[in-house]
Structure 1
Amino acid sequence: MRSVLVTGASGGIGAAVAHRFAAAGDRVAVHFVSNRAGAESTLRALPAEGHALVSGDLGDPEGARQIVDAAAAELGTIDVLVCNAGVAPSEENRHVIGDVSYEEWTSTFRRMVDVNLLGSANLAWAVASRLIERGAPGAIVNIGSRGAFRGEPEHPAYAASKAGLHALGQSLAVALAPHGITVTSVAPGFVATPRQEPKLDGPAGDALRAQSPFGRVGTAEEVAAAVFWLASPEAAWCSGSILDANGASHLRS
């Protein structure tokens, strides 16, 4: 039985990841930023007992450390970190040069980088430091994005932050290997989550499904399965890898 911290687990991919680990008998700390009701719903749905609820803003360096401290206090320790929380692309944070002011451009970049990249880096430091102090092996899995490779013209800060997250994971994989800590990333394509239902049901739905030769989009459970495997001892030799989970919608050499 492992102790697992999953950030951004109020719904969608994070909730599916939390459920996947709990179903295997692991104890999970369900993290949320503002959606307490969603996180509590995730927590209630988890199999077995011993799980916990933690909150905090990853965009604040001290907040990130406090999240890890709270999760460790609730679970006793942390063996696996899943960095899923992030600022996702939306119509509200669309930032195309020529369409937004300089102030909007810089503030959007700052928030996405602070949360998606720096927040995950700070969490990794806090969790890895505890593992090293214990002399224990562990795993860190980052949720990146297909957009890091194909680009996101309407949300360049998102693509840049996720590309940075992939690079961070590879750097940490080398640095932490001597301590028995693996670091990997999953790069999903478009995933069907409750937040994306209006888009999938709307005029853009067919085009989104057509991005993959399978004629559909991914599911949160498929991403969760990839995360669970990458965090397992059987996947240790894959440390440093970035697993594409996009239904062949974007192929990279």
Structure 2
Amino acid sequence: MQLPDTGRRVLVSGAARGLGRAVARAFAANGDRVAVHYGTRAEEARATLASLDGTGHVLAGGDLADPAGAAEVVDAAAEGLGGGIDVLVNNAAVNLPHPLADTPYEEWAALWQRHVAVNLLATANLSHLVARGMIDRGTGGRIVNIGSRGAFRGEPDHPAYGATKAAVHALGQSLAVSLAPYGIGVASVAPGFFATERVAPRLEGPEGEAIRAQSPFGRVAGADEIAEAVRWLASPAAEWASGTILDLNGASYLRS
């Protein structure tokens, strides 16, 4: 069964603000119904919900680091959207600094556990839960993972982030092969630096010029630019892009 290009049921994890909010808005503007997931930022998630075009959108709160919490989020999203999920966007992530030379071992170990639980295992668990529903309904669908440029170029101050995003890329490619027979396309995006409220102080501060200079365009991306690529990868037209890792970094890092 070929899904329509609009009117789909979309779960966006980590959609309270930033890129997740931009992704939710892009799908809503496309005529889709969106489940806005949040962990602890309920007020910001409600603001995201209120900003969406159209009707039928819902909130789905829960701790994705807990496998039971991930299942509760998927159940709530599927029920709120009318019995299923057609598109999953795995956006939720943590990115906390922990340079090896300056981080005590106990803190280092705890931060690695946190990054793996949220960035990798939550992505794997949500993908399983949502894909099983797609398989059982026989509808096919789309999964789009938010990876990172840092998976390729390295993240010296955030090594667990870079490593888990590389694992997310690999997970997406494995699932692209295994889920294709069920009509489920899986792709990832690998953004470079993009503007959100969280990084605004860095862009406005002393390092802003150097960050913008990473790209020959002399700027950083807007979250809406990343969101539009995510929306396209989730569209019926992008089935043949399944398995891809789409670089979205303004030529700031080129890989062979």
Q: Same fold (TM over 0.5)?
A: yes
Q: How does 1:32-111 map to 2 (within 5 A)?
A: 32-76=38-82, 77-88=84-95, 93-111=96-114
Q: Are positions 1:230 and 2:236 aligned together? A: no
TM-score with structure 1 setting the length:
0.97
In 2, distance between residues paired with 1:146 and 1:97? 20
Counterparts of 1:40-189 in structure 2, within 5 Å, are: 40-76=46-82, 77-88=84-95, 93-189=96-192
Can you list the C-alpha shifts for 1:61-114, whole angstroms capped at 9, x where unaligned? 1111111011001002100000001102xxxx3212221111111101000010
CA shift for structure 1 position 11: 1.0
CA distance in 1, matches of 2:92, 2:102: 27
Asked whether 1:7 is paired with 2:25, we answer: no
Cα distance in 2 for partners of 1:58, 1:251 equals 32
Any unmatched runs of 5+ in structure 2? 1-6
CA offsets, 1:194-230, max 9 Å, x none?
A: 0110000001100000000000001100000000000
Is 1:221 matched up with 2:224? Answer: yes
Q: Secondary structure at the match of 2:110?
A: helix
- Unpaired segments of 5 or more residues in structure 1? none
Question: Quick one: which of 239, 242, 246 aligns to 2:245?
Answer: 242
Question: Residue type of the partner of 1:171?
Answer: S
What letter corresponds to residue 57 of structure 1 in structure 2? D
> 1:194 aligns to what SS in structure 2?
coil
Q: What's the TM-score, normalizing by structure 2?
A: 0.96
CA distance in 2, matches of 1:186, 1:8: 16
> Does 1:198 pair with 2:198?
no
CA shift, 1:181, in A, is: 0.2
Counterpart amino acid of residue 169 in structure 2: H
Runs of 4 or more off by more than 3 Å in structure 1? none
Equivalents in 1 of 2:88, 2:149: separation in Å? 21
Q: Distance in 2 between matches of 1:153 and 1:137?
A: 39
Offset from partner CA, 1:151-174 (integer Å, 9 cap, x none) = 000110000000000000000000
Query: Matches of 1:221 and 1:145 in 2, distance apart?
Result: 16
Distance 1:12 1:71 in 2: 20
Deviations 1:29-73 (A, max 9, x none): 001011111111110010111000011111111111111011001
| 1:120-175 deviations in Å (ceiling 9; x for gaps) | 00000000000000011100000000000000001100000000000000000000
User: Secondary structure of the equivalent of 2:185?
Assistant: strand
Provide the rounded CA distance (Å) in 2 between the counterparts of 1:115 and 1:84: 10
Aligned residues: 249
Kindly report the root-mean-square deviation, in angstroms, between the aligned alpha carbons of the 2 structures.
0.6
